[in-house]
Structure 1
């Protein structure tokens, strides 16, 4: 299996990034600010490397990346104030009149991919701007804590769900090779074969299904969907 995203086991070591079980937006903002500074320091240091090599392209890349990281950090800092309730938010989206958060439950928003029960960062920024621009017109506002009461317990982001699906698929691929194929009798470490003995990249359906069932039982999945989201 190949993926477009490089992943390493070190990525899972995140305890030093946060004080609690989950990282706060304020902690994200601070960590991003530190990364921004470190990248700019590296760019400055690379101006005079120990060996006579012109690193202009790398220096420009580091500074460009630093700018993107800095902007992300500033965005997280603003969103930290939003989730703490410091920033008024419009109760509905100005262009459609659709509600969000708790109020969006049981609503239909097909044109926008479904109701905005869990708002994106961009939606929150838009709601904050709408509230600010419409302050003099008596538009109803709310705060993030009020609009999101009871939402978020056991919630998992799209990125986390996608990562867990990739991990599940990788585990299934490994399990397939450990599972005896009842169709072609391929054993441990062997790929399936056709009736004429040709090696196949794809296993027989029965072998694949058995491997999936084994992995899903171990991980707590139902088909490709997590039965329960770990409380981390």
Structure 2
């Protein structure tokens, strides 16, 4: 059996986390390891076995390493914030709006809805604001107590949507179109015989229904997404 760390599959994430989900601290550590590896490669590339000038590649590696290091540093601070070691402001400075559990049921028309689940940039700003004299502070665990069950990140939702669309596109070509009688593997055609890039609606609907049933979705929305559970 191939060890997990030797896998080249993007979906094989066991090698970068010890539990069912990756922690922010693990993200920081993994990024730090990547930063180090890139800098080591840049140094090794200074004296390649074959006489080739690799200055541009070396500079690119070091630039990428610097960006990765910045993200590692942010993740390291964020890990302390989510663990409750760093106090954060209970409200956003510019709007005085609450966040987390306190934002449930609030109306924020100027900001597109309540910030129940904050972004990394919001948390870093809230941590900085907490240093102001007289600031009403809280901690991430306190502010987010009760939030997380069923939550899914925007990146994960977008990836699922792309995967579903690809599955539907493949499913369409396995069905016979009731409108133009396009067979398995054939694109739909117009009444005059032109090949269309878009299937007829009934064929599309059937493909979507087949894929959603197979994936356990209800109208493109997941009935149960294991990765979204805590």
For Structure 1 versus Structure 2, the TM-score category normalised by the shorter chain is: over 0.9
Matches within 5 A, 1:1-232: 10-132=9-131, 134=132, 136=133, 138-231=134-227
Structure 1 residue 110 displacement after superposition:
2.2
Q: Say whether the 8 Å CA contact 1:155–1:229 is kept in structure 2.
A: no
Output the TM-score relative to the length of structure 2: 0.93
Whole-angstrom distance in 2 between the partners of 1:139 and 1:67: 34
| Structure 2 segments unaligned to the other structure (5+ residues) | 1-7
Output the TM-score relative to the length of structure 1: 0.92
Structure 1 residue 32 displacement after superposition:
0.3
Whole-angstrom distance in 2 between the partners of 1:230 and 1:24: 17
| Structure 1 segments unaligned to the other structure (5+ residues) | 1-8
Structure 1 residue 218 displacement after superposition:
1.1
Q: Say whether the 8 Å CA contact 1:180–1:186 is kept in structure 2.
A: yes
Q: Say whether the 8 Å CA contact 1:90–1:140 is kept in structure 2.
A: yes
Question: For each residue in 1:137-191, what CA deviation from the matched residue of structure 2 results, as whole angstroms up to 9, or x when unmatched?
Answer: x221100000001101121100000000000000000000001100111111111
Structure 1 residue 36 displacement after superposition:
0.2
Q: Displaced runs of 4+ in structure 1, greater than 6 A?
A: none
Secondary structure of the corresponding residue to residue 110 of structure 1:
coil
Whole-angstrom distance in 1 between the partners of 2:67 and 2:59: 13
Aligned residues: 221
Structure 1 residue 86 displacement after superposition:
0.4
Secondary structure of the corresponding residue to residue 110 of structure 2:
helix
Secondary structure of the corresponding residue to residue 163 of structure 2:
helix
Secondary structure of the corresponding residue to residue 130 of structure 2:
helix
